[in-house]
């Protein structure tokens, strides 16, 4: 496969579901292709207790793979407070760099809002207790997630695959969080999102694929993979009027600082 974007500096894919079945056939090749494209480090967030073990196993298998552990809002319907102890135990693993992915999702509405709120609150408290950053999922739930963050002691983390308004961006940035951008910044009709990407402070910007989802142009519709973070970098650099090398240096430093993997 030819990656048409030449990257002079290293990039980090700060959000990839590398444990998914869709990568079972060719996971080694995918990690190798990413490394060839300059993406030597990948952060893999868990979604529920069941895949925490699989995610941790990947970190032992691949040197450049790191993990986040936590319960996704769409997997929180059966939330029990005791789960927090299991997440705390998983978080002791030396390659766990964050609690995630956690948050709110009112689009799919898989779990009652009150349950989503409780799961998020408890996991934010855990992140603060362990001094770990959080990886936040927010879908059509901006007002509530901002309010819950304001009430929580957690002040380190990223709102991943940012797709909300500039007003939400400002609220989250003011609390000290980073914003992560994915494939949609390359989509034809994403001018509003690109206007936000252009305004984010350079030291709060992260790049991620969310693979296998959200595949950037020119592979939209196909399976996404970490190597494609190069296409996101290319577009974000153009939007911000910097070189890809400058953007790569900046976003890699940001990810190293936030996740402590420098
Ligand atoms: Zn994700």
* Domain locations along the chain: 11-259
Q: How far is the CA of 70 from the centre of ligand 1 (A)?
A: 11
* DSSP per-residue letters across 64-130: TEEEEE---GGG-TT--TTHHHHHHHHTTSTTEEEEEEEEEETTT--S-HHHHHHHHHHHHHHHHHH
Q: Which residues surround ligand 1, an ion (CB under 5 A)?
A: 210
* CA pair distance 147, 142, nearest whole angstrom: 9
pLDDT of residue 118: 98
**Which residues have a Cβ under 8 Å from the Cβ of 117 and sit 6 or more positions away?**
104, 144, 148
Q: How far is the CA of 108 from the centre of ligand 1 (A)?
A: 14
Give yes or no for a contact between 257 and 202, defined as CB atoms under 8 angstroms apart: no
Find where tokens 């060839």 sit.
Answer: 36
pLDDT tens figures, 132-147: 999 999 999 999 999 9
In the predicted model, is pLDDT for residue 71 greater than 50?
A: yes
Average pLDDT, the chain: 95
CATH of domain 11-259: 3.20.20.140
Q: How far is the CA of 183 from the centre of ligand 1 (A)?
A: 12
Q: How far is the CA of 6 from the centre of ligand 1 (A)?
A: 26
**Which residues have a Cβ under 8 Å from the Cβ of 80 and sit 6 or more positions away?**
none
Q: How far is the CA of 189 from the centre of ligand 1 (A)?
A: 22
Give yes or no for a contact between 237 and 247, defined as CB atoms under 8 angstroms apart: yes
* CA nearest to 194, candidates 142, 233, 236, 254: 236
pLDDT tens figures, 1-43: 445 555 556 999 999 999 999 999 999 999 999 999 999 999 9
* CA nearest to 3, candidates 190, 216, 146: 216
Local structure of residue 185 (DSSP, 8 states): G
Q: Classify residue 257 as exposed, middle or buried by CB count within 10 Å of its CB (0-12, 13-18, 19+).
A: middle
């Amino acid at each position: 496969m030819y990656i048409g974007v030449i990257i002079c500096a290293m990039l980090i894919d700060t959000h990839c579901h590398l444990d998914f079945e869709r990568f079972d056939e060719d996971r080694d090749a995918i990690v190798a292709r990413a490394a060839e494209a300059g993406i030597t480090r990948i952060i893999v967030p868990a979604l529920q207790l069941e895949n925490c073990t699989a995610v941790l196993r990947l970190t032992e298998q691949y040197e450049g793979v790191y993990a986040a552990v936590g319960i996704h809002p769409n997997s929180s319907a059966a939330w029990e407070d005791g789960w927090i102890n299991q997440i705390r135990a998983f978080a002791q693993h030396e390659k766990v760099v964050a609690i995630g992915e956690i948050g709110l999702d009112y689009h799919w509405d898989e779990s009652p809002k009150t349950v989503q709120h409780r799961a998020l609150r408890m996991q934010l408290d855990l992140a603060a207790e362990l001094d770990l950053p959080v990886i936040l999922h927010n879908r059509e739930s901006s007002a509530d997630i901002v309010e819950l963050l304001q009430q929580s002691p957690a002040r380190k983390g990223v709102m991943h695959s940012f797709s909300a308004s500039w007003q939400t961006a400002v609220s989250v940035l003011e609390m000290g969080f980073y914003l992560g951008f994915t494939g949609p910044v390359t989509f034809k009709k994403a001018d509003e999102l690109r206007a936000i990407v252009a305004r984010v402070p350079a030291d709060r910007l992260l790049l991620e694929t969310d693979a296998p989802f959200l595949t950037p142009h020119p592979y939209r519709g196909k399976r996404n993979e970490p190597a494609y973070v190069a296409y996101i970098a290319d577009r974000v650099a153009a939007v911000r009027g910097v070189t890809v090398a400058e953007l790569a240096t900046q976003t890699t430093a940001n990810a190293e600082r936030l996740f402590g993997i420098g």
